[in-house]
Amino acid sequence: MADFTPEELRAKILEYLGKKDKAKNRDIATAFDTSKKEVDKMVNEMAKEGILEFLYLGTSYVKLKDKE
């Protein structure tokens, strides 16, 4: 399983969501072969900073804030 620094993971999440409308945390973790716990933590942090927002469609998705 890949081990990223917080900065690396943050950059990877931003890059991944830049190419998608929305994604589940699990899909992000699978894409980078990293632990979902770490992705959850970083996504929550980025949501608090207003960079990401959650969408609730049966389960939780994240997207870049204001991205159409």
Rounded-to-integer distance, Cα 20 and Cα 38, Å: 20
How many residues does this entry show for the chain? 68
Q: How large is the angle between the packed helices 36-48 and 6-19, nearest 10 degrees?
A: 80
Q: Residues interacting with other proteins, by CB under 8 A?
A: 24-25, 35-37, 40, 44, 54, 56-60
Q: Which is nearer to other proteins, 28 or 64 (CB)?
A: 28
Rounded-to-integer distance, Cα 31 and Cα 12, Å: 10
Q: Output the smallest distance, CB 11 to other proteins, in A.
A: 22
Q: Output the smallest distance, CB 14 to other proteins, in A.
A: 19
Q: Output the smallest distance, CB 26 to other proteins, in A.
A: 8
